[in-house]
Amino acid sequence: MKEYPSFAGVHTALVTPFCNAQFDEATFIKLIERQIEAEITGIVPVGSTGESPTLSHPEQLRVIDLAIKTARNANRKILVTAGTGSNSTAKAIESTQEAERLGADAAMLVLPYYNKPSAEGIYAHFKAIAESVKIPIIIYDAPGRCGISLPLSIAVRLANDCPNIIGIKDCNASLEHIEKLHSQLPPHFQLLSGDDIWTLPFLRIGAVGVISVASNLLPVSIVKLVSLFELGLLEEAQELHLNLIPLFKDLFIETNPVPIKTAMALRGLLQEEFRLPLVSLTNEHREILFQRVESYSLE
């Protein structure tokens, strides 16, 4: 079996900065360079945190391309996992092939949303995508956004039948679910937490890392959290995790990525700008988030 890269560590689900309704390329480069300085494992452009639904297809490709080129200028290897999901298998194949041509290390694809296929349809969808490319595939299981979740039996079949489907970003918020995945999937399969607040609990029962929203704001702290766990310093990891939980909660006070982009704007990292139908936080939530962000040191 071909060896694929380890995704152990922290991967930042990158926001997409805008300026005057356009993709802010200069700020995007600075954000990635900040991630590199924090010794992040990888970056994930054009996911839900990157407002992929409101990016045009050319914009999606430009974001992915710029992320790859910026990462390649780093003095160490930074994995770039491109968000290429769609509820159209043909479109997902096209986007994943384009990401592969641009040089992405991997692709992350959400389950088909809205049309809600059967279990066999989910299997056929991901199998067709995997067979169309050589890069590794990470399945993004986010039932809260998609209305469906990945059945365990289908995850096992895909892991065994498609060598380049190598992991799952899991947002089920269930330790029991992760335990079942870890016990039934093959040893090479990699589980990643898709929710910051579940990072440490998931690591304890077999996950290898996290695709993080909070690391857009506090990359050093999130890297430290996972590193402490990997070093076996569980008490220190638990202490840091508990300290970060209030922030993790408030970053989802409204729909992601509105709170994280607002928090980053408060720290001067980007302009606070969204694309409809996403809008700014309510004044009440803005004040709550402001107080929370101010309680953490700038990184």
Domains and CATH numbers, the chain: 9-234 (3.20.20.70)
Q: What is the pLDDT of residue 231?
A: 98
Determine which of 8-12, 161-165, 284-288, 294-298 has the lowest per-residue pLDDT on average: 294-298
**How much is the average pLDDT of 52-60?**
97
Fill in the amino acid letter for 14.
Answer: L
Say which range, 73-82, 143-152, 156-165, 227-236, has the weakest mean pLDDT. Answer: 143-152
Share of the chain above pLDDT 90, in %: 87
- Three-state SS sequence of the chain: CCCCCCCCEEEEECCCCEECCEECHHHHHHHHHHHHHCCCCEEECCCCCCCHHHCCHHHHHHHHHHHHHHHHCCCCCCEEEEECCCCCHHHHHHHHHHHHHHCCCEEEEECCCCCCCCHHHHHHHHHHHHHHCCCCEEEEECHHHHCCCCCHHHHHHHHHHCCCEEEEEECCCCHHHHHHHHHHCCCCCEEEECCHHHHHHHHHCCCCEEEECHHHCCHHHHHHHHHHHHCCCHHHHHHHHHHHHHHHHHCCCCCCCHHHHHHHHHCCCCCCCCCCCCCCCCHHHHHHHHHHHHCCCCC
- How many residues in total does the chain contain? 299
pLDDT in the model for residue 143: 80
pTM (predicted TM-score): 0.96
* Paired sense of beta strands 9-13 and 79-83, if any: unpaired
Active site residue 169: yes
Choose, from 30, 69, 113, 169, the residue flagged as catalytic: 169
At residue 1, the pLDDT reads 62
Candidates 30, 114, 116, 140; catalytic one: 140
Which tokens sit at 260?
């994280």
Check residues 177 and 237 and name the one with the higher pLDDT.
237
Q: Is 30 a catalytic residue?
A: no
